[in-house]
Amino acid sequence: MNELRLRIYKQIINNTPGGRTSLFNKICGVTIFISIVFAVLVTENSIDYQFGDQIDILDWVIGAFFCVEYFCRLWVAPLDNKYGKGWKGVLRYLISPMAIIDVIAIVPSFIGVRAELKILRIIRLLRILKIGRSEKFKQSIYHFNYALRSKSQELQISTLYTVLLLLLSSTCMYLAESSIQPELLGSIPRCLWWSITTVSAVGYGDSIPVTAVGKIIASITSLMGIAAIAIPTGILASGFSESIGVQNKNEFSRDTLK
């Protein structure tokens, strides 16, 4: 029994030769993906009408699988040093963020959903939170946090640039167009909406300049908006690159010491 428990623990923590994803975690990943796909598809009325019952049965099966996974994690929790031995380890795992996410992901499968409450099925999409268990996902979050921390000053300058661009362009557009289009551009807050959609390159077209001066302001805002998007993108990319470089350097140092 102890040998089985240890084997399950190794599968759960992904302790496999070569650092490959364990079979247990592969099955969990595929199951999460399938459950999310069906949770999205069932919101389409025609699909729900034709296959709703079959999807509900499949969701029960998936829910049962997640229950088994949850109890496996409970069973092996005392083997993990961060939770501790015996029942204390189990209780500490129960109140851990990842265990709570597991419960949130499981419960929707067993909520009785009548036709008029069909929208509750979308709660099943909360299973996407279980992706947070993936080691690759955790690594990506670490790199993202590193990029934000290491490049915080540069990002602050970039944010200031964007805010100034929005305020200046909306003020200039107000001066140029407020008398001609009072309903659309008759105040700085209304022009601010136009400026945000222009800088972000969305351009809904619900408010556009009609005067020559207004069009010149819009053209300059669009061109400067490219920098507002490109600058933080470049900063974050640099931060990611540095984080990956530090990780590779640390791994190389550990391998050298071995």
CATH classification of the domain holding 212: 1.10.287.70
User: Is 141 part of a structural domain of the chain?
Assistant: no
* pLDDT of the residue at 114: 46
Q: Can you give the pLDDT at residue 163?
A: 92
pLDDT for residue 218: 92
Q: What's the rounded mean pLDDT across residues 185-209? A: 87
Res. 25: pLDDT tops 60: yes
Residue 39 has pLDDT above 80, yes or no: no
User: Per the structure, how many domains does the chain have?
Assistant: 2
CA distance 210 to 140: 46
Higher pLDDT, 225 or 28: 225
Give the residue-averaged pLDDT of 125-153. 73
Residue 141 has pLDDT above 70, yes or no: yes
Whether the predicted model's global pTM rises above the 0.85 cut:
no
When mean pLDDT is compared across 120-124, 127-131, 135-139, the lowest value belongs to: 120-124
Is the pLDDT at 249 greater than 80? The verdict is: no
139 located within any domain: no
- Other C-beta atoms closer than 10 Å to the C-beta of 2 total 7
Residue 173: CB atoms within 10 Å: 27
Q: Is residue 140 part of a domain?
A: no
Is 98:31 a contact under the CB 8 Å cutoff?
A: no
Position 118 confidence tier, pLDDT thresholds 50, 70, 90? very low
pLDDT digits (tens, 9 = 90+) for 70-114: 898 888 888 887 787 878 888 888 888 778 877 877 777 777 554
The rounded mean pLDDT for the chain is 80
Q: Is residue 119 located within the same domain as residue 201?
A: no
Which residue has better confidence, 1 or 189?
Answer: 189
pLDDT score of 215 more than 90: yes
Predicted pLDDT at 191? 92
Q: How many helical (H) and strand (E) elements, i.e. helices and strands, does the chain have?
A: 10, 0
Residues 17 and 109 in one domain: yes
Placement of tokens 């984080």 in the chain: 243
Distances (CA, A) of 250 to 21, 160, 247, 253: 22, 35, 5, 5
Q: What is the pLDDT of residues 144-158, one digit of tens each?
A: 888 888 888 888 999
Containing structural domain, residue 250: 148-257
Distance CA 222, CA 212 (A): 15
- Specify the CATH number for the domain of residue 78: 1.20.120.350
